[in-house]
Amino acid sequence: MSAMDWQAFALSLRLAGVTTAILLAIAVPLAALIVLGRGRWLAAVEALSTLPMVLPPTVLGFFLLVLLGPRTAFGRGIAAVLGHPLAFSFDGLVVGSVIYSLPFAVQPLVAGFASVDTALVEAARLLGAGPVRLVSSIFIPVARRSFLAAIVLSFLHTVGEFGVVLMLGGDIPGATRTLSIVLYDQVESFDYAAANRTAAVLLGLSVLALAAIYSTSRKRGSEQRA
């Protein structure tokens, strides 16, 4: 890859890393709330957290571009606090990525937490575990495959996202040009050799991450059978 590609590669990894860390901080308590909470309003919370999955990325990117831009009071307020507008910046991409990848973190965690035997949850509650300890000492270790899936899916989904990035971030080298944008640029300029290399890197990342998930689950399965 050229020097420019490595810059995009590093930027993509940085964006995915920051997004995944923020997503975990949001998605773990959100998934625990959905699984442990009571009340009809939780269905609305779950639906809202799943919405980005069915929303076209360009639509989400457009809404965020308008919301975070100088035309809204919210966008102007954020710009005043940060000293720069969120649109067309790395920070703006992080906000967009967190919203866009939220279902890919929340859904595996909800499925994993919900599959934990109720008897274990009740035993922990009887022994004095509050919500935080319940999640950290029972839900995450028992549903660790789902936890790993949430990390990997969030990371890969962010690395591969295109529509939101293009709408919200544009194509600024070193700030918002990710590998997906580079691939698009290479195809647009008929540089198929470079496009092949970029696509191979994206493909390799996905295969490696998925192999990590499946090897972990197979290892766990064979431990349980032993």
Residue with tokens 């999955």: 53
Rounded Cα distance between 57 and 3, Å, is 29
Residue 29: both structure tokens together: 């308590």
Contact between 128 and other proteins per CB under 8 A = yes
Q: From the list 77, 141, 204, 221, which residue makes contact with other proteins (rule: CB under 8 A)?
A: 141
Nearest to 13 by CA among 203, 183, 160, 139: 160
Contact between 39 and other proteins per CB under 8 A = no
Residue with tokens 């295109």: 162
Contact between 83 and other proteins per CB under 8 A = no
Q: Which stretch binds other proteins (CB under 8 A): 105-113, 131-139, 159-167, 200-208?
A: 131-139
How far from 72 is each of 75, 80, 81, CA to CA, in Å?
5, 12, 14
Rounded Cα distance between 48 and 87, Å, is 23
Residue 80 or 120: the one with the smaller Cβ distance to other proteins is 120
Contact between 173 and other proteins per CB under 8 A = no
Contact between 37 and other proteins per CB under 8 A = no
Q: Which of residues 3-32 bind other proteins (CB under 8 A)?
A: none
Residue 139 or 155: the one with the smaller Cβ distance to other proteins is 139
Nearest to 113 by CA among 143, 141, 149: 143
Contact between 222 and other proteins per CB under 8 A = no
Q: Which stretch binds other proteins (CB under 8 A): 39-47, 98-106, 133-141, 164-172?
A: 133-141
Contact between 76 and other proteins per CB under 8 A = no
Contact between 51 and other proteins per CB under 8 A = no
Q: Which stretch binds other proteins (CB under 8 A): 17-25, 134-142, 167-175, 178-186?
A: 134-142
